[in-house]
Amino acid sequence: MEYQQRRKEQARHTEQAILQAAMELSRQKSFDKVSVRDICQRAGITTGAFYHHFRSKEELLLKGFSPLDQYMEQALAGHADDGPEERLRRLLTSYAAFMESLGWELVARYYQQRLGAPPSHSIDPRRYTHRTMLECLRQCKAQGRFPSGCTPEWLADFLFRHFRGVVIDWVIHQGDYSLLSKLTQDYQLFSRILEPKT
């Protein structure tokens, strides 16, 4: 491995360690009470290394959901041959598990931060999660199992907006119900739309 590639891999590893440390600490106490020093100590790095990767704790929060796609990719590894409905279900349950692992307080803080940030498109079509969902929906359409009057692109956008809304409701209720159970119920209703037409 050449020097530049090693440096890039080391930087990626350090950034992931910082994000992981922040998430672990935020599950123990409120994100607002976690200091940069706490995060650095948990990650085994200097504060200089932290500020090399993030300008502030708030910027870290905005990037904190970036491991979601990596988490999803690992959850779907080895399931490429599953049917599209099963892969959609696996995407959904993995999404719920990831959010629950962060805890409602950290998710709430993330959305508060997003509301104060400049407008952006969080449903980025280049992201693994979006690409995989769209691929599943396109397969359903090719199999003739798709609601008339909408496209796979529109339905993927709808699903992202719906599931984000459920996560926000879960936050409003301070995590007092199982997000996984709620999203699984919702998916059971949605999956009827994709049942083979007789």
User: 78 and 49 in one domain?
Assistant: no
pTM value > 0.75: no
What pLDDT is recorded for position 44? 92
What pLDDT is recorded for position 173? 95
How many distinct structural domains can be found in the chain? 2
What pLDDT is recorded for position 42? 92
Note down the domain range covering 56.
1-64
User: 73 and 34 in one domain?
Assistant: no
User: 154 and 111 in one domain?
Assistant: yes
What pLDDT is recorded for position 3? 74
Supply the angle between the helices 104-116 and 3-28 in degrees, to the nearest 10: 110
Domain boundary among 49, 64, 79: 64
User: 124 and 27 in one domain?
Assistant: no
CATH number, domain of 42, equals 1.10.10.60
What pLDDT is recorded for position 197? 58
Structure tokens at 163: 């599931």
Q: List, for the chain, all residue ranges whose pLDDT scores fall below the cut of 70.
A: 1, 62, 64-66, 116-124, 196-198
Minimal CA–CA distance to 24: which of 116, 138, 131, 106? 106
What pLDDT is recorded for position 41? 94
Minimal CA–CA distance to 116: which of 67, 63, 65, 58? 58
